[in-house]
Structures are given as structure tokens and as C-alpha cells.
């Protein structure tokens, strides 16, 4: 038995576009992900989020699942284009009503709502005005944060401004594998800045209107970067700068790292950063959200015959790794999940301890961790996902180890409550602890859901030998 601290917050996570569906109902406007998924060839299998998991219409059933899991918190995101179509102008009351029902439903069941304001679904009209590379998007985001704080700030006590701005900026605007599918490195760095600025402005807006006891936070997909050998320290430094310190610097320390500015000098002069912006980005935070899936392994590119961009981008397609042209991303030893991501929980312990060292006053929360597997379904419908149980067990042990060593980790959210729209991979990649039948939308608890319910109830991990336990 590995016990967790008293009051440790156990939860599951989802995001609006990945689960809600109802993409054109009740006044919702289009987002960049509707545009992306409706463009042939961009999402595997031609999948879209039009119906997703139909969560919009199955709210009560899904609240029932959360209740039965016994979780203390549920992390969801508010769809900006559902509550404020177009990103400007009046609120869409029907959209607001949906989140009222969700929040009130959670509170009635003693489940704390953890609301993410931006999980990648930028209103399409704001992209047409330039998107995150434009400063105006940060200002519109702050307005939206203010409006949400006014509506829900009496009941939501934990807010997350942005989910994984790394993905929004670099996958959206540099490699183009996410919406809005642009491949413009300079624009991606401008997006980095306006996401940082938007975060700071949103925190200010929420502080002004939300419950004074509210916990304000941001979720980053920090990369735990390792070099193949000691000689690869500069490669590690570059990747750490563009992936981690590009956000941690302004948000937690009020400045961009000098090495990041230098490494990217051939791409941009950073003139979009105005006086006072990084001070605005650096608002006191009550918590830092960390999403962790796997570590990153790099080495100095030594091929001599040319440069290599990034993992999966050796074929001349655009890289998300700006300023890392001399870095080679090394395929790591397995085992792997269905995403091709290697399973190595030691990176999570090390990452949490690095954060404790560098930012000792900032409490941490694991806002996502989980794994995609092609789960086998028995004839009787039982889903034996022992690899997911093993993955979760390993990573929770890694969290416990970090806590033991002094990291202030307040909670853990499994990604994901249910199988959902896995962005450019569509529905083929299943991260849920609850299975969703794509034809009937029926929800079925996987073995991992029963296992997680028991972990939550015990506030402790079972001994490793019992890791694959389940209900009959
Ligand atoms: C995160 N990468 O996305 C998101 O927050 C979730 O919405 C998503 O479903 C989950 O992780 C699983 O992918 C990521 O390429 C997407 O490094 C891509 C990357 C990382 C995180």
C-alpha cells in the first residue's frame, strides 16, 4: 500500500471538443477544430468532433459515472465558441446553461469542478482575424475569462486558464498537425507570447471577479528532457528552453530566458513583446498544472550531412521544434502505448522534483496522465485493459515517490474519463477508463475504471502485485 496525503484530490479529465459533440446546436459557433476536422485528410479516418461522445446530451449519465467512481474532482473545459460564439459580443445563454447544469450537477454530487478556459477550441472568427499570433486574441481571451468568472466564479473554485499552450502554439502554428494547421515558425513564437500574455490577463480578470478563495492555475505539458550522453547538454538546454522555459519563464519569473531569444533569433526578433507584457504574464498562481505522458530523449545532431528537425519530422515536413534544428529526437526504448509514446514513469518523478527545486513555492497538480491502448473487449463486454492499469499504477507510484521526496503535489487527474476524439488521431486512439461504443455511444467501465475507483476510495495504491485487480 502506498498512501497519498490527506485531502489529495483525485479526478478525471476531459476537454469540450473531445467529448461534447453538439457542434452546431443551441447557438454554438465554429471553432478552429471544427474547421480542421472538416478539412479532408487532416484527421485520421475522417473523424470529426461533430458528435464526439455526445456528452452534451448525456450529461446526467456521465455525472452518474463520476459519482460511482467516487472522484473528488472533475476537470472539464468550457467551449469558448459555445458560450461566446465568434469570440466577441454577447454570451450565448444556451451555452452558459449547459455549464451551469454541469457545475451544479457536480456540486450536488460533492465533486469539485475544475474548469479549463481554453482547451484549444479557438472561435474560428478569431483565427480569421489572425489567431494567437495576434495580440488581440489575448485581449479577447481575457474578456472571455472575465465573463466566465462572473457567471461561474461563485461555484468554480479551481480555474485553469490554458491547457498546454505548447500544443496550441507549436502544433497549431509551426508543425500544423493541430488546428489551425499553419506552418509559420515566426507566427508560432508570436502565439507563444500571446498565450502567455492571455494567461496573465485572464488570471487578473478572474482574481477580480471569482471567489476570493479560488485557486488559479495553468496547465503545461512540460517536457522532461534527457540527453543521450553528457555531450548532449546543449541539445537538452535548447529543447528545455523552447518547450518549458518559454512558458515557465514569463508565467513564473516574469521574463523570457535569454537563451530562448538567442536560439530563435533567425526566426523572430520578438518585437511583439511590449514593455510590461512579461510582468503581466507573471501573475501569482495558486498551483501549476502538469500534464505528463512520457519523457523526451535528444542528442546533438552529428550527421554532418544536414540538419534534422524532430521526431516524426525527418521527412522534410514542418517541425514544431523552433531553434532546435541541430537537435535529434531519439526514439526511446519501449514499451510503448498505442500513441507510440514510451512508458517511463521515472520522468514524472524527476520532472516534479525539478519543479520543486526551481519553483519551490508553487504547489503542483497532475492535470493529465494516462495511456491509449487498443483495449480488448471480451464476449461478455468486459474490457480487460491491464496495460492501462499498469501504466496508471506506475505513474501514481512515481507521483508518490516525488511527494515522499518533498514535492507538493495536490492532486491527480486521469486522462481520460472516457474514450474520446483524440485530435488528429480521431477516435482510433482510446485513452478512457470508460469505453465509449462509437455506434451506440454506450459507456462501459473498463477494468481500469474499477481499479481507479478502488484507489480513490482507499486514497492509496494497492501493492503492485494487485495492480491488475478488477471487479467481475
Ligand atoms: C494532451 N504531443 O495532448 C491534451 O491535453 C489532451 O487533450 C490529449 O487528449 C492528451 O494529451 C493525449 O494526447 C497532447 O504531441 C497532444 O507531444 C500532443 C502532444 C502532447 C499532448
Residue 14: is its pLDDT beyond 70?
yes
Mutation pick for ligand 1 pocket among 79, 163, 295, 423 (CB with most ligand atoms within 8 Å): 423
Residues 337-349, mean pLDDT to the nearest whole number: 98
Is there a domain that residue 17 lies in?
yes
Cα(59) to centroid(ligand 1), Å: 24
Q: What is the domain-level CATH number for residue 382? A: 3.20.20.80
Strands (E) across 282-363 are located at: 287-291, 296-300, 327-329
- Pocket-forming residues, ligand 1, beta carbon under 6 Å: 15, 18, 163-164, 167, 221, 291, 368, 415, 422, 431
Confidence at 303, pLDDT banded by 50, 70, 90: low
Query: Tens digit of pLDDT for each residue in 257-300?
Result: 999 999 999 999 999 999 999 999 999 999 999 999 999 999 99
Cα(1) to centroid(ligand 1), Å: 30
Is there a domain that residue 468 lies in?
no
Residue 254: is its pLDDT beyond 70?
yes
Cα(374) to centroid(ligand 1), Å: 17
Residues 173-191, mean pLDDT to the nearest whole number: 98
- Which atom of ligand 1 is the closest one to the Cα of 177? 15
Helices (H), 359-385: none
Is there a domain that residue 470 lies in?
no
What is the predicted pLDDT for the residue at 46?
98
Cα(15) to centroid(ligand 1), Å: 11
Helices (H), 210-314: 233-240, 246-248, 258-263, 277-281
- Which atom of ligand 1 is the closest one to the Cα of 422? 9
Residues 201-206, mean pLDDT to the nearest whole number: 98
Residue 324: is its pLDDT beyond 90?
yes
Is there a domain that residue 472 lies in?
no
Cα(452) to centroid(ligand 1), Å: 21
Residue 471: is its pLDDT beyond 70?
no
Query: Tens digit of pLDDT for each residue in 309-321?
Result: 444 444 557 999 9
Is there a domain that residue 466 lies in?
no
Catalytic (active-site) positions: 164, 368
Residues 59-77, mean pLDDT to the nearest whole number: 99
Residue 466: is its pLDDT beyond 90?
no
What is the predicted pLDDT for the residue at 315?
52
What is the predicted pLDDT for the residue at 1?
85
- 330 contact partners, CB below 8 Å, separation of at least 6: 228, 297, 298, 299
Compute the CA torsion angle 369, 375, 380, 386 (nearest 10 deg).
-60
Cα(417) to centroid(ligand 1), Å: 15
Residue 436: is its pLDDT beyond 70?
yes
Bridge partners of 461, per DSSP, are: 2
Query: Tens digit of pLDDT for each residue in 115-173?
Result: 999 999 999 999 999 999 999 999 999 999 999 999 999 999 999 999 999 999 999 99
Helices (H), 233-282: 233-240, 246-248, 258-263, 277-281
- Which atom of ligand 1 is the closest one to the Cα of 372? 12
Residue 468: is its pLDDT beyond 70?
no
Mutation pick for ligand 1 pocket among 31, 75, 174, 293 (CB with most ligand atoms within 8 Å): 293
Is there a domain that residue 22 lies in?
yes
Mutation pick for ligand 1 pocket among 12, 164, 175 (CB with most ligand atoms within 8 Å): 164
Is there a domain that residue 467 lies in?
no
- Which atom of ligand 1 is the closest one to the Cα of 163? 5
Is there a domain that residue 237 lies in?
yes
Atom 19, ligand 1: residue with shortest CA distance: 167
Could you list the residue range(s) of the whole structural domain that residue 331 is in?
Answer: 2-461
Q: What whole-number percentage of the chain has pLDDT above 70?
A: 95
Residue 238: is its pLDDT beyond 50?
yes
Contact 417, 62 (CB under 8 A): yes
Atom 18, ligand 1: residue with shortest CA distance: 167
Residue 77: is its pLDDT beyond 90?
yes
ipTM over 0.85: yes
Residue 345: is its pLDDT beyond 50?
yes
- Which atom of ligand 1 is the closest one to the Cα of 423? 9
Residue 224: is its pLDDT beyond 80?
yes
How much is the mean pLDDT over the chain? 95
Residue 470: is its pLDDT beyond 50?
no
CA 209, 211, 212, 213 torsion-angle sign? negative
3 state SS of 81:
helix
Helix axes 93-108, 135-152, angle to 10 degrees: 50
- Number of compact structural domains in the chain: 1
Amino acid at each position: 500500500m502506498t498512501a497519498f496525503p490527506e485531502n489529495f484530490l483525485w479526478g478525471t479529465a476531459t476537454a469540450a471538443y473531445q467529448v461534447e459533440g453538439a457542434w452546431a446546436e443551441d447557438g454554438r459557433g465554429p471553432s478552429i477544430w471544427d474547421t480542421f476536422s472538416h478539412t479532408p485528410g487532416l484527421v485520421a479516418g475522417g473523424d470529426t468532433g461533430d458528435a464526439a461522445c455526445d456528452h452534451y446530451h448525456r450529461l446526467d449519465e456521465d455525472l452518474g459515472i463520476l459519482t460511482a467512481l467516487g472522484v473528488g474532482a472533475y476537470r472539464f473545459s468550457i467551449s469558448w465558441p459555445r458560450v461566446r460564439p465568434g469570440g466577441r459580443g454577447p454570451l450565448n445563454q444556451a451555452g452558459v446553461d449547459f455549464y451551469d447544469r454541469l457545475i451544479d450537477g457536480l456540486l450536488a454530487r460533492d465533486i469539485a469542478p475544475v474548469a479549463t478556459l481554453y482547451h484549444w477550441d479557438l472561435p474560428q472568427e478569431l483565427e480569421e482575424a489572425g489567431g494567437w499570433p495576434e495580440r488581440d486574441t489575448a485581449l479577447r481571451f481575457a474578456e472571455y475569462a472575465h465573463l466566465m468568472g462572473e457567471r461561474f466564479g461563485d461555484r468554480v473554485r479551481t480555474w485553469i486558464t490554458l491547457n498546454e499552450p505548447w500544443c496550441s502554439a507549436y502544433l497549431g502554428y509551426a508543425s500544423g498537425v493541430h488546428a489551425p494547421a499553419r506552418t509559420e515558425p515566426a507566427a508560432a513564437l508570436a502565439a507563444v507570447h500571446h498565450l502567455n500574455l492571455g494567461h496573465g490577463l485572464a488570471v487578473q480578470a478572474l482574481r477580480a471577479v471569482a471567489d476570493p478563495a479560488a485557486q488559479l492555475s495553468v496547465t503545461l505539458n512540460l517536457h522532461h528532457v534527457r540527453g543521450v550522453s553528457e555531450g548532449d547538454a546543449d541539445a537538452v538546454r535548447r529543447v528545455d528552453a523552447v518547450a518549458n522555459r518559454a512558458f515557465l519563464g514569463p508565467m513564473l519569473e516574469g521574463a523570457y530566458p535569454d537563451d530562448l531569444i538567442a536560439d530563435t533569433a533567425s526566426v523572430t526578433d520578438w518585437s511583439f513583446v511590449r514593455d510590461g507584457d512579461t510582468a503581466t504574464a507573471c501573475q501569482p498562481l495558486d498551483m501549476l498544472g502538469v500534464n505528463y505522458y512520457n519523457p523526451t530523449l535528444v542528442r546533438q545532431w552529428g550527421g554532418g550531412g544536414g540538419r534534422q528537425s524532430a521526431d516524426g519530422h525527418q521527412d522534410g515536413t514542418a517541425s514544431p521544434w523552433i531553434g532546435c534544428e541541430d537537435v535529434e529526437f531519439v526514439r526511446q526504448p519501449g514499451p510503448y502505448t498505442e500513441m507510440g509514446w514510451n512508458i517511463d514513469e521515472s520522468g514524472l518523478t524527476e520532472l516534479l522534483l525539478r519543479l520543486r527545486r526551481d519553483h519551490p513555492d508553487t504547489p503542483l497538480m497532475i492535470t493529465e496522465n494516462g495511456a491509449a491502448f487498443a483495449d480488448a473487449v471480451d464476449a461478455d463486454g468486459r474490457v480487460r485493459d491491464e496495460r492501462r492499469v499498469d501504466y496508471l499504477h506506475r505513474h501514481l507510484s512515481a507521483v508518490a515517490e516525488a511527494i515522499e521526496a518533498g514535492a507538493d503535489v495536490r492532486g491527480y487527474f486521469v486522462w481520460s474519463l472516457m474514450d474520446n476524439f483524440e485530435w488528429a488521431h480521431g477516435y482510433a486512439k482510446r485513452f478512457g477508463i470508460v469505453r465509449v461504443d462509437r455506434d451506440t455511444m454506450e459507456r462501459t467501465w473498463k477494468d481500469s475504471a474499477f481499479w481507479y475507483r478502488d484507489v480513490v476510495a482507499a486514497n492509496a495504491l494497492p501493492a503492485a502485485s494487485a495492480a491488475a485487480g478488477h471487479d467481475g
